Copies of this chain bind each other. A is one copy, B any other.
Amino acid sequence: MSASNTNGSRAGAALTGMASRIDPATVGPAAALALMFIVYSVLSPHFLTVQNITNVLVQSAPLMILASGQTFALLMGGLDLSQGSIVSLVSVVTAGVMMHFGLPLGAAAGLGAGIGIGLVNGLLVGRARIQPFIVTLGMLYITAGAAMVVSDGSSIFGLPRPDVDYFFWFGGGFIGPVPVPTLIAVILIAAAHLVLTQTRIGRHVFAIGSNEQVAVMSGIDVGRVKIFIFLVSGGFAAVGGFMLSGRVISGQPLLGAGDILLQSIGAVIIGGTSIFGGQGGVLRTVIGVLVIAFMVNGLNLLAISTFAQQIIVGAIIILSVWVNTLQRRRT
């Protein structure tokens, strides 16, 4: 029976969050993470310091949030390629509106815009039944274009005081010793985890990702669930974008144009959520994000040249997942 639980925890644990012992899928990335910690700590006296760990947690908070949203899309067997563009759009809309109407309205408008894009994604996937890849690829361009049009292509600086200070608070402030962005990330992750493991719609997400036909035959309103999924993915991206903008107290039309989309998807998959859907969860994603965040941080501390860094990053990504494939070498 003891063995039976391990067997069970594979599919069951992620789905119910009732993992008695650790989720096998996370062994690889967790090991990679541990290894990094050891190596970096040995090589750099600056790595294992409260200050540095705090930094990394703050730095990675936006990615944590994006990736948690992305997890929903992957769990249903889809993708959300528009997250990066949403970050950019939210950034310029928030700053633009804030410039004249203050933070509250700015935030409302910015987050609203991001969620709006998510809704459009959801409707196109859930109702028009177009595949997520195409929909979000299209919205990637549309949203990026919108961000450019809104900001007329230039960054928005010089936000009014005192609003700008509150704005920064969301991106880099502290409550006592606790960094605000990290706090927000933790709350959203907890919520996402709860929804996925403890609610009906969460279960439906897994069902659709596992086998959409079966989900349909079981009377699940697949369209509705898909809309929900892209609302979450877009909404989380919006919050992440808001945070990033707060950190740099400005609206930047290219804020999400960089690596962040690839990192968001990468983190989910490194964490062990299946691209084909049905298996995984946000807790796995958290580990994936930590791998990415500490990986780069350590390399920066060691002043590894940028080019060499890329090579190492790639290697770590592959290795962290390879460990898993080694485990299941049976039957």
Interface residues of A (CB under 8 A from B): 124, 128-131, 133-135, 137-146, 148-149, 153, 262, 266, 269-270, 275-276, 306-311, 313-318, 321-322, 325
A149's partner among B311, B322, B325 (CB-CB below 8 A) is B311
The chain B residue with its CB closest to the CB of A324 is: B130
Task: Give the contacting residue for A134; candidates B130, B144, B269, B306; CB below 8 A.
Answer: B269
Task: Please give 8 more A-B residue pairs, beta carbons under 8 A apart, in addition to A130-B318, A142-B311.
Answer: A124-B318, A133-B269, A134-B318, A134-B321, A137-B317, A139-B314, A140-B262, A148-B307
Give how many copies assemble into the complex. Answer: 2
Decide if B131 touches A269 in the complex (CB within 8 Å).
yes
Interchain CB contact under 8 A, B321 and A130: yes
Residues of B within 8 A of A311 (CB): 141-142, 145-146, 149
Closest 10 interchain pairs by CB? A145-B310, A141-B314, A142-B314, A138-B318, A145-B311, A148-B307, A138-B314, A138-B317, A134-B321, A141-B310
Give the docked Cα–Cα distance between A125 and B149 (Å).
Answer: 42
Chain B residues near A321 (CB-CB < 8 A): 130-131, 134
A318 to B266, CA, bound (A): 24
Q: How far is the CB of A85 from chain B (nearest CB, A)?
A: 9
Contacts of A131 in B (CB 8 A): 269, 275, 321
> By the criterion CB–CB under 8 Å, are A308 and B129 in contact?
no
Bound-complex Cα distance A276 to B310 (A):
29
A124 to B318, CA, bound (A): 9
Question: What's the Cα separation between A113 and B213 when bound, in Å?
Answer: 44
CB-CB under 8 A from A142, the residues of chain B are: 310-311, 314-315
Shortest CB–CB separation between residue A24 and chain B, in angstroms?
15
Could you tell me if B307 and A134 are in contact, using CB atoms closer than 8 angstroms?
A: no
Asked if A145 and B309 sit within 8 Å, CB to CB, the answer is yes
Given A128-B325, A325-B130, A135:B318 Cβ within 8 A: yes
Distance between A33 CB and nearest chain B CB, rounded to angstroms? 16
Inter-subunit contact B275/A314 (CB<8 Å): no
Check A322 against B139 for contact (C-beta < 8 Å): no
Q: List 22 A-B contacts (CB under 8 A).
A: A128-B322, A128-B325, A129-B325, A130-B318, A130-B322, A131-B269, A133-B269, A134-B318, A137-B262, A137-B269, A138-B314, A138-B315, A138-B318, A139-B318, A140-B262, A141-B313, A142-B314, A142-B315, A145-B313, A149-B308, A153-B307, A276-B276
Please indicate the chain B residues that have their CB under 8 angstroms from the CB of A316 in the complex.
138
Residue of B nearest to A319 (CB): B138
Is there contact, CB below 8 Å, between A270 and B134?
yes
Q: Complex: how many Å from CA A149 to CA B142?
A: 35
Measured CA separation A148–B314 after assembly (Å): 14
Chain B residues with CB under 8 Å of A308's CB are 145, 149
B145 touches A317 (CB 8 A): no
Q: Are B149 and A307 in contact (CB under 8 A)?
A: yes
Known A-B contacts A321-B130, A325-B130; the reply to A145 vs B314 at CB < 8 A is yes
- The docked-state distance in angstroms from the alpha carbon of A287 to that of B137 is 17
Distance (Å) between the CB of A238 and the closest chain B CB?
18
Q: With A and B bound together, what is the CA distance between A314 and B130 in angstroms? A: 14
